[in-house]
Structure 1
Amino acid sequence: MTTSYKTYVPNNTEQNSDQNWVVVDATGVPLGRLATLVASRIRGKHRPDFTPNIINGDFVIVVNAVNVALTGKKLDQKVYTRYTGYQGGLRTETARTALTRHPERVIEHAVFGMLPKGRQGRAMHTRLKVYPNEQHPHAAQMPTKLESK
């Protein structure tokens, strides 16, 4: 006699039931380790009911983006490129200048590259809030502090 086991699969109506807000301090944490922690938290891979086709993760607030660590010579050798749309409009910027001008974009770029590509990844990207210093406007959501290892 065979016992039938049923696998629990959450559906779209249950996806918004347990959304938490989490604060991560980026001070001294390497950029890649911070990005993997944040991306897995946004996707919901820390949850026992993780389902790849449902956005089931947390909202993540990253504070102190100015103090994120880049190991080795990445401050001067890592290059961010963008294209303006005009001929000869390729613009490059090192990580050092990007951190001084827009430190939140460095973390957003790293996390966005670790999220799924397509409509669902863009929807997950809206759950990331990055701020260059300690202040953030999300105190009403009562976020819990997450320790970055």
Structure 2
Amino acid sequence: MKTYTPVIDPQAQTWVVVDAANVPLGRLATVVATHIRGKHRADYTPNILMGDFVIVLNAEKVALTGKKLDQKVYTRYTGYQGGLKKETARTALAKHPERVIEHAVYGMLPKGRLGRAMHTRLKVYPGSQHPHTAQAPVALTIKSALENK
């Protein structure tokens, strides 16, 4: 018996638009990561890039519950001695809100070559405008996506 491997047509890739306004960051990230990986499809295969392209709008209006705005800290290292840079979620959302969502989604994707390829399918914009209208994206609501799990 042969193993079934789905054939993915690059022309048939779908684009999905998600509105992040007043949606908790973790719930948004799980839905987006599921669609990027392709786990919502019946023919999901973990070693094949078969997910959707996801456009996230209104990244500046994403909700962080509890005290996360002041207690959640993003760190990075510059490479120099004493070069550990820290910033809270409040300052990160004020400076570059798209990076907060990208960081949350990237942590839910697999590590390695395939995960980096999946990460390129995420497009995040701080406002409600995006340049991907030619791809005819389909609107996805977070509430309906969480109910379908």
Please tell me the TM-score bracket, short chain as reference.
Answer: over 0.9
Q: 1:15 to 1:50 in 2, by over 3 A?
A: farther
Higher helix share: 2
Larger Rg: 1
Structure 2: runs of 5+ lacking an equivalent: 144-149
Q: 1:74 aligns with which of 68, 71, 80?
A: 68
Distance 1:122 1:107 in 2: 16
Contact kept? 1:15, 1:54, Cα under 8 Å: no
Residue in structure 2 matched with residue 143 of structure 1 by the alignment: 137
Contact kept? 1:23, 1:60, Cα under 8 Å: yes
Equivalent pairs counted in the alignment come to 143
Residue in structure 2 matched with residue 9 of structure 1 by the alignment: 5
Distance 2:129 2:139 in 1: 14
Contact kept? 1:27, 1:67, Cα under 8 Å: yes
SS at match of 1:76: helix
- Aligned residues with identical type, % of pairs: 76
Distance 1:24 1:68 in 2: 11
Task: Output one character per residue of 1:37-89: Cα deviation in whole Å (capped at 9) or x when no partner.
Answer: 00000000001110000010000000000000000000000000000010000
Residue in structure 1 matched with residue 37 of structure 2 by the alignment: 43
Residue in structure 1 matched with residue 147 of structure 2 by the alignment: none
SS at match of 1:52: coil
Distance 2:84 2:91 in 1: 16
Distance 1:144 1:54 in 2: 23
Matched letter for residue 117 of structure 1: K
Q: CA deviation at 1:10?
A: 1.2
Distance 1:19 1:7 in 2: 23
SS at match of 2:85: strand
* TM-score normalised by structure 1 residue count: 0.92
Distance 1:134 1:81 in 2: 28
Distance 2:39 2:11 in 1: 16
Structure 1 runs (4+) greater than 3 angstroms displaced: none
Residue in structure 2 matched with residue 59 of structure 1 by the alignment: 53
Q: CA deviation at 1:17?
A: 5.2
Task: Output one character per residue of 1:88-144: Cα deviation in whole Å (capped at 9) or x when no partner.
Answer: 000000000000000000000000000000000000000000000001000010101
Matched letter for residue 19 of structure 2: D
